[in-house]
């Protein structure tokens, strides 16, 4: 690609929009009682209804309706007092009925918005609609180099996912973000994911496909007052890839227009290894899905009191929580983002509630514990240590019972299931040596063993005291308070 993103954005104005598909975390599927466990034996969670066998009849999952209303309310949408499902007819190998039960012209939630922070400013992303449908199955293409059907030796189909409740959240076009368009798209999906996780309606694991995005991108010459032809990059499955796909498409479309070509409305595929998109299929002609009302389902008419009751259960949403924590913990935006990106907000908040200071809670979760979680390949919240135990470690350090080095050993012991922090301290003998007489013995030995260092200190090169402090720390097995040792050495040599 010869046109860089920077040069493209200097001459063209981008517009992006996203269609985000979210698998709801219900126990059973959208229209039947089959389970929804991820990773189950292929085709073990199916029945005549989700396989579309003759004579089977769907029944709407009430919890899925409730979860969708929750999402709509959190996204400031209007909730329809009456809506219905429709049949969307098309053929795809992993769709057993050859049609999808979805919502067409009468969705459950419409006309909302989500505010996101982009480059220090707030961007309001309009929400066109939130509608409910059923997911398709999953095709596995075997024998090829890319995992796609091209070049594969054969394909397998797993219908376990067919029929899982799927919410589609469609934004309105988002203009005006300029150079920060890729970051804006990523920020929106990040904020949306946090909202969905907070609501408890989905595990939003992009790596498992429970949240995936179709990213629409277009560009037009700056000052033209028009919007360009959009492309749709399908099934983008990571936050980083959302940003990279927008960036790649802007540069690619600029190269097409610079060469006198025309951007074609089409679907495209994003490639993680190269960071570019390639053509999928043309969408210049509108697809005729032959929508018609689903004859086997009655309309859905959420009672106003039920919607109010659902609204009353909404938790504190991420934007409100962010503002509260930034103020109460005296954080910068960057410090807050570091906590959020590490998945440590909940455990840090719980550690503070257990008595630790915000600084101490952040310190331990973002350093030692984040490192250990990374080594184990798990989230920090999944570590076998509780916020109360971390708060106790911080308390022991603050009291002078432990120093940071010993505290790390205590954390190691707790993670190895040796007991509580106090039990680990006792069992391993990790308490700081606080008896001055014991420290003075080690100090005198260090002074006697390093006369040249003592001479430098007495001549005014005070920084050399670090050598003696190190010797004392080694002699005490790291169990001394380094600041106290330094003070005692200087008193001894004065």
Domain contains 472: yes
184 pLDDT more than 80: yes
Model confidence, pTM = 0.81
pLDDT the model gives residue 480:
67
Instruction: Tell me the average pLDDT across 320-338.
Output: 92
Which residues, 6+ apart, have CB-to-CB distance to 345 below 8 Å?
321, 325, 339
Domain contains 180: yes
Domain contains 181: yes
Task: Tell me the sheet residues that pair with 270.
Answer: 277
Q: Round the average pLDDT of the chain to a whole number and report it.
A: 90
Q: What are phi and psi of 490, to 5 degrees?
A: -65, -35
DSSP structural state of residue 377: T
Whether 352 and 411 map to the same domain: the answer is yes
Give the separation between CA 215 and CA 486, rounded to whole angstroms.
Answer: 59
Between helix 333-341 and helix 318-328 the angle, nearest 10°, is 120
Domain contains 223: yes
Note down the domain range covering 473: 436-493
Whether 454 and 374 map to the same domain: the answer is no
473 pLDDT more than 90: no
214 pLDDT more than 80: yes
Whether 287 and 423 map to the same domain: the answer is no
Q: Which of 310, 343, 377 is the last residue of a domain?
A: 310
How many helices (H) and strands (E) would you count in the chain?
Answer: 17, 14
Domain contains 318: no
Domain contains 317: no
Domain contains 315: no
Burial call 171-195: b when 16+ CB within 10 Å, e when fewer: beebeebeebbbbbbbbbbbbbbbb
Which region among 22-26, 283-287, 297-301, 375-379 has the lowest average model confidence (pLDDT)?
A: 283-287
pLDDT the model gives residue 145:
72
463 pLDDT more than 90: no
Whether 228 and 119 map to the same domain: the answer is yes
Percent of the chain with pLDDT over 90: 67
Whether 441 and 423 map to the same domain: the answer is no
Whether 347 and 236 map to the same domain: the answer is no
Residues 74, 199: contact at Cβ < 8 Å?
Answer: yes
Q: Provide the number of structural domains found in the chain.
A: 3
Q: Which of 390, 407, 428 is the last residue of a domain?
A: 428
Domain contains 169: yes
């Amino acid at each position: 690609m010869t046109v860089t993103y920077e040069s493209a954005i200097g001459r063209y104005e981008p517009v992006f929009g996203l269609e985000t598909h979210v698998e709801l975390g219900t126990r059973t599927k959208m229209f039947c009682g089959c389970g929804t466990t991820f990773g189950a034996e292929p085709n073990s969670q199916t029945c005549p209804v989700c396989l579309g066998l003759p004579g089977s009849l769907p029944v709407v999952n009430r919890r899925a309706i409730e979860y969708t209303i929750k999402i709509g309310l959190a996204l400031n949408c209007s909730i329809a007092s009456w809506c219905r499902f429709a049949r969307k007819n098309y053929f795809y190998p992993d769709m057993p009925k050859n049609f999808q039960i979805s919502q067409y012209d009468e969705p459950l939630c419409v006309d909302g918005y989500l505010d996101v922070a982009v480059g220090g400013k707030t961007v309001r992303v309009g929400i066109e609609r939130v509608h409910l449908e059923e997911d398709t199955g999953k095709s596995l293409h075997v024998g090829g180099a890319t995992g796609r059907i091209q070049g594969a030796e054969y394909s397998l189909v797993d219908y376990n996912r067919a029929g899982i409740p799927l919410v589609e959240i469609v934004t309105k076009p988002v203009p005006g973000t300029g150079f920060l368009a890729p970051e804006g798209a990523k920020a929106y999906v990040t904020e949306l994911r946090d909202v969905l996780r907070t609501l408890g309606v989905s595990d939003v694991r992009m790596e498992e496909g429970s949240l995936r995005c179709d990213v629409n991108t277009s560009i037009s010459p700056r000052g033209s007052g028009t919007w360009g032809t959009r492309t749709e990059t399908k099934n983008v499955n990571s936050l980083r890839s959302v940003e990279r796909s927008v960036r790649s498409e802007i540069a690619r479309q600029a190269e097409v227009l610079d060469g006198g070509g025309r951007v074609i409305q089409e679907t495209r595929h994003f490639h993680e290894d190269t960071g570019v998109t390639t053509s999928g299929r043309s969408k210049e002609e509108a697809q005729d899905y032959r929508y018609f009302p689903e004859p086997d389902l009655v309309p859905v008419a959420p009672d106003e009191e039920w919607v109010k009751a659902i609204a009353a259960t909404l938790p504190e949403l991420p934007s409100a929580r962010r503002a509260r924590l930034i103020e109460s913990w005296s954080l910068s935006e960057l410090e807050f983002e570091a906590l959020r990106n590490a998945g440590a907000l909940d455990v840090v908040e719980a550690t503070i509630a257990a008595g630790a200071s915000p600084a101490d809670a952040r310190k331990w979760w973002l350093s030692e514990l984040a490192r250990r979680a990374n080594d184990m390949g798990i989230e920090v919240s999944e570590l076998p240590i509780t916020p109360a135990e971390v708060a106790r470690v911080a308390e022991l350090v603050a009291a002078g019972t432990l120093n940071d080095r010993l505290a790390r050993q205590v954390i190691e012991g707790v993670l190895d299931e040796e007991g509580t922090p106090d039990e680990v301290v006792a069992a391993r003998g990790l308490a700081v040596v606080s008896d001055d007489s014991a420290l003075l013995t080690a100090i005198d030995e260090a002074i006697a063993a390093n006369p040249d260092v003592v001479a430098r200190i007495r001549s005014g090169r005070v920084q050399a005291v670090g050598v003696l402090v190190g010797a004392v720390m080694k002699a005490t097995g790291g169990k001394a308070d380094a600041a106290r040792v330094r003070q005692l050495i200087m008193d001894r040599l004065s």
